[in-house]
Amino acid sequence: MLRFLLVLNIFFVVSSYGQNYGQKDPVFLTEALSSHLPKYKEHADKAYHQQNIERADFLFDSLVDHCLKGSRLDNFKVKDLKKEPVNLVDFKKPIYLMTYASWVVPTEGEIPALNELAAKFGEQVDFVLLFWDQHETAKKLAEKYHKNIEILYVDELQNNSSYVIKNLKHSLGFPTTFLLDKDKRIIDIRRQVSHPYGIEFQKSFNLNHDSFSEAISLLLINDSSQYSQNLGEETAL
């Protein structure tokens, strides 16, 4: 009951974005953030200041579950490693999108776990890693990742007027993972696995692998469900 009242206090009313996931014209993520982010940040900043990580995590999950799920990620423009512009609409499969920066140190087993799953599911899912960094930095970091992972970058020195870019980076922090269906609707938004540095590699690998696998399964199940629904509608016609 206390948590339910807390959600009401933060967001005033439970948003219909997630509940109306099947709507043809969902709101864009930037619209949803504009409506709900100020109140969320007010409470989240207080929780972090008090070092109440459990509450901060709960607030983040509540924001995602009640206000952001079902919204559509804006069609932002970034660049690939050839410095060619890339649009979000260029990707046709469900998308596993991770936002990152060079100064964020991955946990020991993170990249190997992601590479293994990208090799296995690359034909079914578009794996996209978006670095908030300069081209040369992103190009160097790309060497660590499997070829099925599309490496993109945003150099903010050249994109400092982009409203979408600022929203995507500065609103939810990073690293952050966005799970998107084929229509670019948000299925979920997640933080990366966190564990103490220095634990043995296999333990780190397993933690990351389990987290990535669960998210990829969610994408595939959602895609299969959408396919069945569309097939049913076509059959009815």
Name which of 170, 209, 169, 211 is nearest 190 in CA terms: 211
Query: Is there a single domain that holds both residue 33 and residue 80?
Result: no
pLDDT of residue 14: 38
Q: Are residues 58 and 163 in the same domain?
A: no
Pair 84, 20 in one domain: no
Say yes or no: 154 and 83 in one domain.
Answer: yes
Low-confidence ranges of the chain (pLDDT < 70): 1-25, 158-170, 226-237
Q: Identify whether residues 84 and 56 lie together within a single domain.
A: no
- The pLDDT of residue 30: 87
Alpha carbons 218 and 220: distance in angstroms, whole number: 6
What confidence score (pLDDT) does residue 25 get? 67
Three-state DSSP class for residue 92:
coil
Tokens 């007010």 locate to: 42
- The pLDDT value given to residue 16: 40
pLDDT at 165: 64
What 8-state DSSP symbol labels residue 194?
-
Among the candidates 34, 53, 72, a domain finishes at 72
Do 195 and 116 share a structural domain? Answer: yes
What is the pLDDT, as a whole number, of residue 163?
61
Domain region containing 183:
75-237
The residue among 34, 40, 32, 39 whose CA lies nearest residue 16 is 32
- Confidence (pLDDT) at 168: 67
- Looking at the structure of the chain, the number of domains it has is 2
Instruction: Enter the pTM of the model.
Output: 0.83
Last residue of a domain, one of 72, 96, 116: 72
What is the pLDDT at residue 213? 96
Of 37, 54, 72, the one marking the end of a domain is 72
**In terms of domains, do 155 and 120 share one?**
yes
Residues 63 and 79 in one domain: no
Q: What is the largest CA-CA distance in the chain?
A: 58
Looking at residue 102, its pLDDT comes to: 86
Torsional sign, CA 103, 58, 126, 113: positive
Do 81 and 129 fall into the same domain? yes
Integer Cα distance of 155 and 31 in angstroms: 24
Q: Are residues 81 and 162 in the same domain?
A: yes
